[in-house]
Copies of this chain bind each other. A is one copy, B any other.
Amino acid sequence: MAQTVRLAVLPGDGIGPEVVAEGLKVLDVVAGDLDLVVERTEYDLGARRWHATGETLPDSALEEIRGHDAILLGAVGDPSVPSGVLERGLLLRLRFALDHYVNLRPSRLLSGVASPLADPGEVDLVVVREGTEGPYTGNGGALRVGTPHEVATEVSVNTAFGVERVVRDAFARAQERPRRRLTLVHKHNVLTYAGDLWRRTVDAVAAEFPDVSTDYLHVDAATIFLVTDPSRFDVVVTDNLFGDIVTDLAAAVTGGIGLAASGNVNPTREAPSMFEPVHGSAPDIAGTGRADPTAAVLSVALLLEHLGHPQASERVVGAVAEDLRRRAGGSPRTTSQVGDAVAAALA
């Protein structure tokens, strides 16, 4: 019997709609094979909507989206909108409201893909970035704005509840991988209150996973190792802001954010998880057909895995890998040519 998946599609801004279209193209091929019925609802959210109505994410849309099984998002943000309005009001609102506490960001150096590193070695790491706390909560404020006495604060909020659940998730993922290694990335010698909580939590949860080895790196040192010895990393667990930084760097090292997929996962399944490329809306190349949809396609692979189809997910990754090998050194292709090629490789 066919499984029905209710998918909320949020193409968003800039190149978002272009890459999402290719992700859906690939999803359609796989869905056909799996006897999966994908019921899509598209939501017009982002810069256009904000300019037209002043809305970022109306409560009614959030509640509708909540009724879906999963979300596919393109990218959010446009220079015509004041900074933070769409990021905080739409993207982060979704992550927080749907309790996406596991922001999952794998980085694998696929063969045929050029790394900016002279000698990258084999890179296959996953960053488990906390998604609902840290400096991303919007806590803080500003006083005497615009005067010489202005004070602006940003508050990083970290709770035992929030840290423990994401650390436990990271350990569980590490346990499933051949190397079974977990690295905590923080800056506990300066951010002593939060760092202490993260360290104690990793130590405590480690006792439940005796077969997973752990180590620790300050975030500054982690960026060094990501360029001098990226193969040392297996699973990384870190806070929301450090995770933002190290995942862009990890993506760069493994071929660029054009290839980097992510899942904003709520492991309790009490709300839909959301899959999105790590890259932004890239307004400078929107409409030119130059956006690489690979990250969106790989986000569909993460979505398939989350929906309980690990083999289909691996097939998509395999098709992408095959396409990357073939296109290595070739002339650039358009967004839809890449999507077509992956879809063809699957068929």
Contacts and interface: CB of A to CB of B under 8 A. Distances in A.
A248 B228 contact: no
Contact of A245 (B115, B117, B161, B245): B245
A150 B146 contact: no
B220 A189 contact: no
A245 to B, nearest CB: 5
A337 interface: no
Interface in A153-187: 153-161, 164, 187
A257 B152 CA distance: 32
A73 to B, nearest CB: 16
Number of copies: 2
A327 interface: no
Interface stretch (A190-198, A297-305, A310-318): A190-198
Contacts of A142: 193, 196-197
Contact of A223 (B87, B136, B193, B223): B223
Contact of A194 (B117, B153, B246): B153
B116 A153 contact: no
A200 B136 CA distance: 21
Given A88-B192, A189-B77, A194-B140, A227 B116 contact: yes
A194 B245 CA distance: 18
Interface residues of A, number: 69
A244 B220 contact: yes
A16 to B, nearest CB: 15
Nearest to A199: B83
Given A135-B190, A245-B219, A152 B196 contact: yes
Given A77-B189, A189-B83, A228 B256 contact: yes
Interface in A208-251: 219-221, 223-224, 227-228, 241, 244-249, 251
Interface in A267-318: none
A77 B220 CA distance: 15
A196 B82 CA distance: 10
A191 B77 contact: no
